[in-house]
Structure 1
Amino acid sequence: MNNSIEMHLVTHYRSLLFTQDYCGQSTFGFECNDGWANLIEATLRLTQQHAELKALDVKVTQAKEKFGQLRIYHRGGDESIGAAFEIAESVSGSVCEMCGMPGGAICIDGWLQARCGHHSGPHQIARDENLKSDENYIASYVEAVNLILSFFGEGAVLWVQQERTAFAGRRPCGMLATEEGCQTIFTFLNRLEHGVGV
């Protein structure tokens, strides 16, 4: 991951990534490309908020690409935090690891990779050096996943992975790859929560 992106994450989520004796000089070592940076930040923000609210000690021990998906390993927390990391894993398969655009899992040179159409060829592996943090997406993702976790509890991970007739057969995990999809899910669940017909 790009050093400036990693330093941004380390600065904002230091308590999740390092022990209390962190000196400010270390890097965490995210083992993935920059396209997942917004998804990682959204997941860390959600985790940090939940940990602070519930007074939980959570430490992320590793974040890497494996079989075309993001894996975030951690210790501590509760079922909601575990589910948040599993949801991020499911969503990552619909986000290009190179640029952050919507994509899907494909096989490149025998390896599963999450790629968009532009980065799907075996020789189209150039990283996008101009990626920027997308605060609108991050905030929408946090809002939507918070509501999913609240609404479905232990069934949250399964709910995002299955096709939903309410979304024309789309899987929520794919929809959570975009700001628009996050907002659609949030609006739908918010209306259900308040008893408004959909």
Structure 2
Amino acid sequence: MATDWKRDLMLRHARLFLPMAEEPSRSVGYPHCDHGWQDILLRLCRRIEIALLDRETFEFVRIRQKMGILRVDWDAEASEDTEASIGHAVDLAVARSACTCEICGAEGQRYSKRGWLLTRCADHAAGDPVPNRPGFENVHRLRRWGDKPACITRATTARPTR
């Protein structure tokens, strides 16, 4: 029997989720994405737990795939510094999802299939590749963590000269 990695993630990081015992998939914050982004979400949860101080609270409101990338909605009662750290962790997860196949976790790119945007590897490709829009050509795979790609967004535009 296959394990439910989403339920396990919620139980392992109970401080970040409010799971419904009877139906975890109907819980607020339940991850609505495929197995390929499991590692991204695990790293995100770890980073958030590290950022939280003792009396601070955090809750995932929604985790889903939208426009081919990870979307994370959250709520926190925390200091500005902690919220900034959480925001940075979420930004890293979103950037990594933009070049990680949602199905298997391999290096991927965005595809358009009948108007739906998906991030897929060559083996799971569906539809037509989406060319990078101006301003989005700065998402690059920099290195691998284990067998999963790690992505980062970096500025590639030149500074204006006087």
Residue ranges of structure 2 left out of the alignment (5+ in a row): 128-135, 153-162
Aligned residue number for residue 59 of structure 1: 59
**d(CA) in 1 for partners of 2:67 and 2:137?**
20
Matches within 5 A, 1:57-136: 57-76=57-76, 77=78, 78-122=83-127
Corresponding residue SS for 2:103: coil
List, as ranges, runs of 4+ consecutive aligned residues in structure 1 with deviation greater than 4 Å.
Answer: none
Separation in 2, partners of 1:114, 1:162: 15
Give the count of matched residue pairs: 131
Residue type at the aligned position of 1:45: R
Select which of 140, 145, 158 maps to 1:179: 145
- For 2:36 and 2:87, the matched residues in 1 are separated by 22
One-letter code of the match for 2:46?
R
Partner in structure 2 of residue 39 of structure 1: 40
More helix, by proportion: 1
Structure 1: segments with no counterpart, 5+ residues: 123-160, 164-169, 186-198
Deviation at 1:49, TM superposition (A): 1.6
Show the counterpart of 2:132: none
2:112 & 2:70 partners in 1: Cα distance?
A: 16
- Indicate the residue corresponding to 1:131 in structure 2: none
